[in-house]
Amino acid sequence: MTSPAKIALLPIGSKVVRSTMLAAGAALCLAGLLMVVFQFMALRSTLLRDLQVQARIVGNNSTAALLFSDAHAAEEILGGLAASPSVQSANIIVGSTPLAQFRRNGAPVPELPPSEAGEAQHEYGMDYIEVLEPIFVDHKVVGSVSIRATLMPLYRRSFTFAGFTSIATLGSFALAWLLVRRMRVAVAQAEHNLHVLAHVDPVTGLPNRNAFNEKLSFKLKRADRQETSVGLLLLDLDNFKVVNDTLGHDTGDKLLRQVAERLKETLRSEDIICRIGGDEFVVIVEPADDDVEPDQVARKILRALSGPFIVDTHQLFVSASIGVSVYPKDAADAAAVVRCADIAMYHAKNKGKNAYEVFHEEMAHKASKRLALEANLRKALQNNELSLHYQPQIDVRTGRMRGMEVLIRWNCEALGGAVSPVEFIPVAEESGVIVPLGRWVLQTAVRQAAAWRKAGLMEDIDHMAVNVSACQTKDTQLMYEVQALLMETGLPPRLLELEITEGVLMENVNANIALLHKIQAAGIHLSIDDFGTGYSSMAYLKRFPIDQLKIDRSFVNDVPGDGAAIAKAIIAMAHSLNLSVVAEGVETEEQVAFLADAGCDVMQGFYFARPMPAEELEVLLRERRLWAAA
């Protein structure tokens, strides 16, 4: 695809090359002409020297004839000049009177007058050259010899030379022209290839990010001139990474090509479709004066992608999250309109994927807040803004504190105080900050537990539960860091419990099973957090080397009531697998009573205690407090 700027440059380049070649040709012709002139001048100088030599020879041989005024002898001497084809006529002159004369076919008589000082002379005409040489006897001038020769043989030789020079010049020019032409074709091909590489996506054949930036800029300028609008739809394929990871990148590329073809079949020919990233596409809709039009295009795309894709022997289903923005309503320039579409797409993903969102100002405010949240979160560890709170977990049968869950808290002055984990934990996971954050939580919690144990406060405590994020489970150094930390602090592994959410476990089952076995082999307890919100099956639960299930608070909130059956089923299933059960989010006496009757082993929630700093929990540990569990 050639941009308008590129197309405009091509004729200009042709004119430059043509004028350059014509200038080179003119230079060659001028050089050839100069060579011909130089050759003619050189030949004429040679002829002049030959005539002067011949005149001297004739003069030396005519001395006797001059002294005795022997005209016959003088004519015989002049007759020897007949052997020279260029000599047309000659005179032997005594004083100013010719003594003898030679003429060829009525050629003109030499007219150069003798010099009074007895000097040699020569004269050039258009078609002749004439020389005059004095004849000396005893250093006195007794006469002179005048010879006239034609220049026609020189002209013929010069014309012949000019012909050969012209042929050589034309041949050189033609060869140079062919070489330049071939070079221009090669350069044009190379430029085309570079242009394709720079502007065309090699997988789908669609315009790439560079081409998209150029086309969007062009469309926005035209919209300004025509006072119209431009719609921008940013598409991100949902769960495309799963296809690449499970079936390979070759299958992923084939799927992308089919998605591109389906988009081209679905949209209008004037709509511009580009691939700007791994699984990101963008559509430019022009004009977009009707606010409903971008919505309609987004719905068409979602419908088009809803059908199955047949890639090799696989039937694949792909959905997309789409963000929609409109220029100039939502943004004043290209970068801003793309940013608005990206923000809307992010909201569509959070909405549950396979959906579209149209940008509005509130989204920009939330995105700005998220950026500020991420920026301050990265500095939170250095600024000592993070702290740990601990929430007791109560044994239903004995009423004693059986364990505690570690919860992170953040107090940021730049953001106006306490920031809820519900806000910053998702941001930490998306930005990758969760890895150093999780490492800090683990180190701080284990060192705190070791300190309490050393103080004799962990005798009745079975474990301290620490949450592990999805990013941490993918970190190959996790087990080394945990074991090194336990060795450093001296905390027995049985006192540490790692909580991993059900959704994280099911992301990469085989790799996570291997990790769980390593954790179990190290003597560390394992718990599945938020159980019931994922999609694990009994077959997988039997394979996981876990010690405990934790019922998600969404089910606890509904007991006794709609969640009762689910809660009872989870408890029964866990006990059948010899797993203990923890219910989190317990807040009412009715919930406590129901869960106790259902056989729940451990409860955690505001009914018993809110999360508290280490100092407050230490007081409870020293009191050996008992709670009425039921």
Mean pLDDT by 10 residues, the chain (630 residues): 39 66 82 87 90 87 81 84 85 81 82 76 88 86 87 89 86 84 84 79 88 90 87 89 83 90 88 89 79 79 88 86 89 89 87 85 79 86 89 91 93 85 86 87 94 90 90 83 92 92 75 84 87 61 83 85 84 89 91 91 92 92 71
N-terminal to C-terminal alpha carbon distance within the chain: 74
Fold of 14-156: Beta-Lactamase (3.30.450)
SS (H, E, C) 178-224: HHHHHHHHHHHHHHHHHHHHHHECCCCCCECHHHHHHHHHHHHHHHH
DSSP of 134-146:
EEEETTEEEEEEE
- Give the amino acid at 94: V
Q: Phi/psi zone of residue 172: left (φ > 0), alpha (ψ -120 to 50 degrees), beta?
A: alpha
pLDDT given for residue 12 in this prediction = 44
CA distances (Å), 237 to each of 31, 110, 243, in order?
Answer: 68, 103, 11
Those residues whose C-beta lies under 8 Å from the C-beta of residue 227, and which sit 6 or more positions away, are none
Six-digit token string for 199: 């502007």
CA distances (Å), 200 to each of 1, 156, 249, in order?
Answer: 7, 64, 19
pLDDT given for residue 441 in this prediction = 93
**605/162 Cα distance (integer angstroms):** 109
Question: Strand 612-613 to strand 386-395: parallel, antiparallel, or no bridges (unpaired)?
Answer: antiparallel
pLDDT given for residue 387 in this prediction = 92
**288/283 Cα distance (integer angstroms):** 12
**Which segments within 253-385 are labelled E, that is strand?**
272-275, 280-285, 309-311, 314-316, 320-327, 355-358
pLDDT given for residue 316 in this prediction = 87
The sign of the dihedral angle between the CA atoms of 202, 207, 209, 214 is positive
pTM of the entire predicted model = 0.59
**95/16 Cα distance (integer angstroms):** 68
Instruction: Decide: 531 and 505 in contact? Cβ < 8 Å.
Output: no
Domain spanning 209-359, CATH architecture = 2-Layer Sandwich (3.30)
CA distances (Å), 48 to each of 3, 86, 125, 130, in order?
Answer: 68, 11, 12, 8
Instruction: Decide: 405 and 393 in contact? Cβ < 8 Å.
Output: yes
Q: Helices marked H in 421-508 — which ranges?
A: 421-431, 434-454, 470-473, 478-489, 502-505
**118/132 Cα distance (integer angstroms):** 10
- Give the amino acid at 126: M
For the chain, domain boundaries: 14-156, 209-359, 373-621
Six-digit token string for 74: 């003088």
Those residues whose C-beta lies under 8 Å from the C-beta of residue 156, and which sit 6 or more positions away, are none
pLDDT given for residue 116 in this prediction = 66
pLDDT given for residue 290 in this prediction = 60
Six-digit token string for 184: 């221009």
Instruction: Decide: 132 and 96 in contact? Cβ < 8 Å.
Output: no
Q: Phi/psi zone of residue 395: left (φ > 0), alpha (ψ -120 to 50 degrees), beta?
A: beta
Six-digit token string for 341: 């579409």
Enter the CATH code of domain 373-621.
Answer: 3.20.20.450
Per-position b or e across 399-417, b if 16+ CB within 10 A of its CB: eebbbbbbbbbbebeebee
